[in-house]
Amino acid sequence: MTRRVLVLNGPNLGRLGSREPDIYGATTYRGLVETCETFGKELDLDVEVRETNDEGEMIRWLHEAADGRLPVVVNPGAFTHYSYGMRDAMSQRTAPLIEVHISNPHAREEFRHNSVVASVASGTVAGFGIGSYRLALRALAEELTD
């Protein structure tokens, strides 16, 4: 049975490929979407990838996931460090939720070292470039079969 999964991306992730490629790599956002969809199929997951620069929209998507019992991979972007509204929406999850980051926040600026959402996620994957999404999807698939 194919399981629907949301991959939610926060601010500035739509600019992948042109935004600080030394940190975020050369893969474009379209490339990220294709990677997630293709790898999801290999794992028998129906992956829907979304991106927003709007905190309210992200919170609505998290509510949708909770109400639909949908598993989530989420890259909160900058929301990671300060969005208590997003943290509270994530705490209502009804299925596995994995926090993901392309770079390793702990190897970067001090303000990036704190995640207000990590404590309500099933787990966190960070620092493996676009591969972080593949690792998160694999972990999610394993969570769903356990």
We report the CATH number of the domain holding residue 12 as: 3.40.50.9100
Residue pair 16/28 in contact by the 8 Å Cβ criterion: yes
Q: What is the pLDDT of residues 19-75, one digit of tens each?
A: 766 766 667 789 999 999 999 999 999 999 999 999 999 999 999 999 999 999 999
Number of domains in the chain: 1
Whether this prediction's pTM lies above 0.85 is answered by yes
103 annotated as a binding-site residue:
yes
- For residue 46, the SS3 value is strand
- Give me the phi and psi of 58, to 5 degrees please: -60, -45
112 annotated as a binding-site residue:
yes
Q: What is the pLDDT of residue 107?
A: 58
Q: Given pLDDT bands bounded at 50, 70 and 90, which one contains residue 3?
A: very high
Range of the domain at 33: 3-145
Amino acid at site 70: L
Q: What is the pLDDT of residues 104-126, one digit of tens each?
A: 776 566 766 678 888 999 999 99
Could you confirm whether 101 is annotated as catalytic? yes
Could you confirm whether 24 is annotated as catalytic? yes
